Amino acid sequence: MIGLRKWLWPALALAAWMMFIYGVTDARAEVYGGDSIADGAGHAAHAPTLARKGAGSCEIARKVPHSLWGWVIVSAGVNDQGRCVEQVRQNIGTVAQVIWIVPPRRYARARAAIFASCRRHGDKYVTYIPGRDGLHPRSYSELVDTIHAAEE
């Protein structure tokens, strides 16, 4: 229960802030969630980010706020071969428009889980060119540009 409280209040504050900004300024309402890729992309987009380096999809599923709205950009599955990707999506809810960040081809199981979830829920997805480590994007600003193009 302590872990839940640790994430509940920041998530509620984030949701309230997004509703205010979106309603008052007609700004883009988006939040990034998941693992280190979501963390890097969210910071590059200057957007609210609920992410942790090394987070597995089961952890992300437990921490994602329920019934998010607006654009939710998710990177999950790389650290555990996509075990709980569908649970992440179910916890996001039906109001949000979801864009998945798909990892490189060598993460075949995670990719398969993400593509299956996209088909089930009608979600969008983006891919990127990996950098030197073979996992993280060579350019987070390029990834954010691709995400924003997919939102249109």
Q: What is the pLDDT of residues 51-102, one digit of tens each?
A: 999 999 999 999 887 777 789 999 999 999 999 999 999 999 888 899 999 9
What would the two tokens of residue 37 be? Answer: 């890729």
Instruction: Report the phi/psi class of residue 46: left, alpha or beta, with left for phi > 0 and alpha for psi in -120 to 50.
Output: left
CATH number reported for the structural domain that contains residue 128 in this entry: 3.40.50.1110
Report d(CA 61, CA 145) in Å as an integer: 26
Structural domain that includes position 145: 2-151
Q: What is the pLDDT of residues 93-141, one digit of tens each?
A: 888 899 999 999 999 999 999 999 999 999 999 999 999 999 999 999 9
Report d(CA 28, CA 141) in Å as an integer: 17
Helix axes 140-151, 36-44, angle to 10 degrees: 80
Number of domains in the chain: 1
